Amino acid sequence: MKIGCHLSASGGYLAMAQTAVSIGANVFQFFTRNPRGGAAKPIDKNDVAAFLKYAEENAIGPILAHAPYTLNAAGAEPRVREFAESVMADDLERLELTPGAMYNFHPGSHVGQGAEEGIALISGMLSRILSKKPYSTTVLLETMSGKGSEVGRNFEEIRAVIDATESALGSGGILGVCLDTCHVWDGGYDIVNNLDGVLAEFDRVVGLGRLKAIHLNDTMNVLAAHKDRHEKLGKGKLGLDAIARIVNHPKLRDLPFYLETPCDLQGYRDEIALVKKLREG
Ligand code: FE
Ligand code: FE
Ligand code: ZN
């Protein structure tokens, strides 16, 4: 199975891949730059070359790059939207050095402008960036919990961003989705008691063919809390039985799973071993 976790990017690509192997992972996620924003570190071409060789030898990937949280394409201030657009464009440009990566971002927060305006702003940014050239990286919209004014709080909003973007681009099948198990639960989708029903709903509204990655997290909150607080696997409201059903589900089991639980490296090593055990059982 494809299983890994979020790792610090501070040591570069090769260090992340080596760390992944050391904890039993074969995929990993990382922030493209400081999660609170700011300039990205210059790319070290030697590090990238060493990483690509190591990843090939150790069957690592796909890697999942995560945009900074401050990237808000749906912001009210032009400056906020321009920052989002320049960061995403720059991130995708840099990811061309690691072909076949995926790039996950939080669609944005409409900050009172309304979901419809938020969707228009987000799809406007995506279509401008993606019309420049065909990137080798697949851009993924993350399903959100609906905290504050988050766009992407339900499958319909995700679908609306996809449709508006791809109709502006004049081509389909470009955008993907990353389903975060904490976020969808906090958003009101009961993946504990009705995983089949939620996946059928996702398929009807978005299409399971769009689903490219799973953020595998437990959650501190009750169903539909709209809060977004991740918990260690089995220690939250989802519980290990639900986690086992998720990682074994025939519609999910071949996707890459990325842990974003509140763990240190040893904690992630333990959770990866736990998930592998759930898969065998
Ligand atoms: Fe995220
Ligand atoms: Fe997530
Ligand atoms: Zn989250």
**Phi and psi (nearest 5°) for 252?**
-120, -25
**Ligand 3 centroid to residue 237 C-alpha, Å:** 15
**Ligand 1 centroid to residue 32 C-alpha, Å:** 12
**Ligand 3 centroid to residue 183 C-alpha, Å:** 6
Nearest ligand for residue 258 CA: 2
Spatial separation of the C-alpha atoms in residues 47 and 27, rounded to whole Å: 18
Q: Are strands 108-109 and 150-151 parallel, antiparallel or unpaired?
A: antiparallel
**Ligand 3 centroid to residue 49 C-alpha, Å:** 32
| Model pTM score | 0.97
pLDDT on residue 118: 98
**Ligand 1 centroid to residue 105 C-alpha, Å:** 6
Q: 3-state SS string over 165-193?
A: HHHHHCCCCCCEEEEEHHHHHHCCCCCCC
Nearest ligand for residue 180 CA: 2
Peptide bond into 62 cis (omega under 30): yes
Contact between 238 and 225 under an 8 Å Cβ cutoff? The reply is no
Spatial separation of the C-alpha atoms in residues 272 and 269, rounded to whole Å: 5
Return the DSSP state at 244.
H
Q: Looking up tokens 């059982």, which residue turns up?
A: 281
**pLDDT tens string for the chain (281 positions)?**
999 999 999 999 999 999 999 999 999 999 999 878 778 889 999 999 999 999 999 999 999 999 999 999 999 999 999 999 999 999 999 999 999 999 999 999 999 999 999 999 999 999 999 999 999 999 999 999 999 999 999 999 999 999 999 999 999 999 999 999 999 999 999 999 999 999 999 999 999 999 999 999 999 999 999 999 999 999 999 999 999 999 999 999 999 999 999 999 999 999 999 999 999 75
Chain-centroid distance of CA 192 in Å reads 21
Amino acid at 71: L
Q: Are strands 3-6 and 27-31 parallel, antiparallel or unpaired?
A: parallel
**Paired strand residues for 211:** 177
Burial class (CB in 10 A: 0-12, 13-18, 19+), 78: exposed
**Core vs surface per residue 83-101: b (16+ CB within 10 A) or e:** bbbebbbebbebbebbeeb
Spatial separation of the C-alpha atoms in residues 171 and 148, rounded to whole Å: 32
Token duo for residue 77? 């201030």
